[in-house]
Amino acid sequence: MTTEAWLFGGVSGFFLGTGLWYGIWSHEPAGSAVLGVAFLMSALIAAFFTRTGRERGLRPEDRGDGEVAERSGPVDFFPARSPYPPVVGAGAALTALGIVFGLWMFLLGLGVLLAGVLGLVFQYVHRTDPPGTPVAGRQRPRG
């Protein structure tokens, strides 16, 4: 995760430099606070990626001699079709229209949206994979 750590480290450095410059020149506390929080959040993500990279070691894409074949193979299950994305879209549209037209439509939209999201989440909850099916580059435990 070296690439991600460097990326978020650079973002953190940018927010730190911008926040210090803004705080010195503007004397305005709200913007300085926002830039300070942005620095802290990006530094937290950079620290996470650094720690994760040290614990797991280098991935093939972080090494100069890494090959594509080292990361190839099935990643996970992706459904071919699902009826729930249009339900989620209709629920989001009804919820947005409910903000304009009234509470009754807003609540109806929330209900449709909730039904669509729950359908997406639990659509394949009872699906079973054969033992040994790889998931995200690792073998599932057998048993």
Asked which of 70, 96, 116 is the last residue of a domain, the reply is 70
Residues 66 and 87 grouped into a single domain: no
Residues 122 and 66 grouped into a single domain: no
Task: Give the chain's end-to-end CA distance (angstroms, integer).
Answer: 31
pLDDT in tens, 15-35: 999 999 999 999 899 999 999
Question: From the DSSP assignment, how many helices (H) and strands (E) are in the chain?
Answer: 4, 2
Residues 54 and 18 grouped into a single domain: yes
Number of domains within the chain: 2
What's the pTM value of the predicted model, to 2 decimals? 0.52
The residue segments making up the domain with residue 37 are: 2-70
Residues 90 and 132 grouped into a single domain: yes
Confidence of residue 61 (pLDDT cuts 50, 70, 90): confident
Say how far apart CA 68 and CA 89 lie, in whole Å.
37
Give buried/exposed letters for 8-41 (b at 16+ CB in 10 A, else e): bbebbeebbeebeebbeeeeeeeebeebbebbee
pLDDT in tens, 102-137: 999 999 999 999 999 999 999 888 877 666 665 555
